[in-house]
Chains A and B, each alone.
Chain A
Amino acid sequence: MATDIYVWIAALLTLSIYSFLYKDNPLYKAAEHLFVGASVGYSIVITYYQAVLPRLINPIFQEGDWVMIFPTLIGFLMVSRFFPKYDWLSRITIAFMLGISTGINLPLIIQASLLKQLQGTMLPMTDINSILIVIGVLCVMIYFFFSSEHKGIVNTTSKIGILFIMVGFGASFGYTVMARISLLIGRLEFLFGDWIHLIKY
C-alpha cells in the first residue's frame, strides 16, 4: 500500500467518482464538487501568473505600456453584469470579442476546413481509395439533399450514402471504445499500481 497521503486522497476520490456506476450518492457528489472547485482555483492561479502578470500588469507598471489600459477597461466592462442598471455595458465587451474572433476565424476555417477539403475530394480516380472518397462524398451529400424527394436514382444514391455514414459511425464507435478502455486502464493502473501496489513494473 502507498504511504503517500496524496496518492490516498486521489485514490479515494477516484473510488468516490466510480461509485456512481452503482448509483448516485453523496460521496460522488462531494468528489464532483471538489473537482469543480479545485479546477476553478487552479485556473485562476495559472491564468494570473501566466497571462495577467506578464502580459498586463508588468507591461503597464514596469514597462509603461499604458495602451494596455484600454483593452483592460473593455474587459472590466463584463463586471457590469452584476449591476442590472448598467449591465448593457457588458455588450461592448461581448461585441468586441465576437467581432475579433469571427474576423480571425471565419476566413481561416473556410480556407482550412472547406476549400482544402473540397480540393481533397476532387481526385483523379486512379486508385480504390480515391474512388471510394469521391463516391462516398457524392452519395452522402445526396442523402443530405432535401430539396428533392428521395425517389428513383436519388433514393438509391442516398441509400449508398447511408452505408458510408454507417461505416463512419462504426469507425468512430470503435475508436471511442478504444479511448474509453484506455481511460479505464489509466485509472486501474493508478489504483492497483500506485495505490495498492498489486501491479508491478
Chain B
Amino acid sequence: MKYARLVAIGILVAVAAACLLANFLAPAPYAHQYREIPDASPSHQHLLGTDDLGRDRFSRLLYGTRVSLLLAPAAALLSSLLAGLIGGIAGFAGGRTERMVMAATDLFLSLPWLFLLITVRAVLPLNVAPLTSVIITFALLGCLGWAGAARVICADARTFSQSDFLVQARATGSSGFRLLWRHLIPNLRPILFAQFWISIPVFILTEANLGILGLGVAEPLPSWGSLLRELESFSTVSTQPWQFVPLILFIVVVSSFHLVLTRQELPT
C-alpha cells in the first residue's frame, strides 16, 4: 500500500505540474478552432487530434485539468472550512444549538443538489467571462457541499467537548473561545483534513456531471466535465478511441486522491 500511495502522490504531482505548465506545454491555444481539420486523428501537431470544432485536444486536456484540479481543491477548502465552523460550533455548544444546527444541516442535505445548482446557476448574471463562470461554479459547489462534512465534525466536536482534557481545561478557567481555538480545533484538524481530501474528487465529479449537462464551465474554457461530454455518443467515440484519454486521466486522478486519502486517515 505504501508503494501505491507513493505512486499516487507521484501521479498527482506530475499531473499538477503538467497542468500548471500548460502555457508552455500546450502546442496550441485551447480555444483556437482549426476549422480545416475538425475531428482530426492524432498527429505530430495535435497529439490527441482535434475536437469537433477543430480545437487541439491535448491543449484542452492540459487546461481542462488545470481548471478542475485547481478549483476543486479550492471548493473543497471552502466547504471544509464552512463544515468546520458550523459543525464545530454545533458540537461544542451542544444542547439546543446543536439540535437546531443539525436540523438545518439535515434540511440542507435533503435538498436535491443538482437541481439546486441548476437553479442557482440560472439566476446568476449571464454576461460573465468564462473564467468568472468557472469560479462561480466551484464557489457554488463549495458553498453547497459543507453539510455532510458538518455532521461528521459535529459528532467529533461533541465527543471532544465531553473529553477529559477539555473538562480539565474548563476547570483551569479556560474561556469558550480559548477552548475552541486552543483545544478543539487542533484536535479536529485531522478530520477536517480528511473531509477536505474526500471533497476534492466529489467536486471534480460534480463539475463533470454539470459539464455533461452543459451547465458547468462556459465555453471556450475547457474542464473535465466539458471534455467528458464528448463521450456522450458511444457510436462516434468507438471510431476515435483517443477520446477516452480525458476519462482515463480522470479515473487515475480521482483514484490517486483516494489512495492519498487513505494515508491521511491513518492515526498519527
Q: Is chain B found bound to chain A in the same assembly?
A: no
Q: Which residues of A approach B to under 8 Å, CB–CB?
A: none
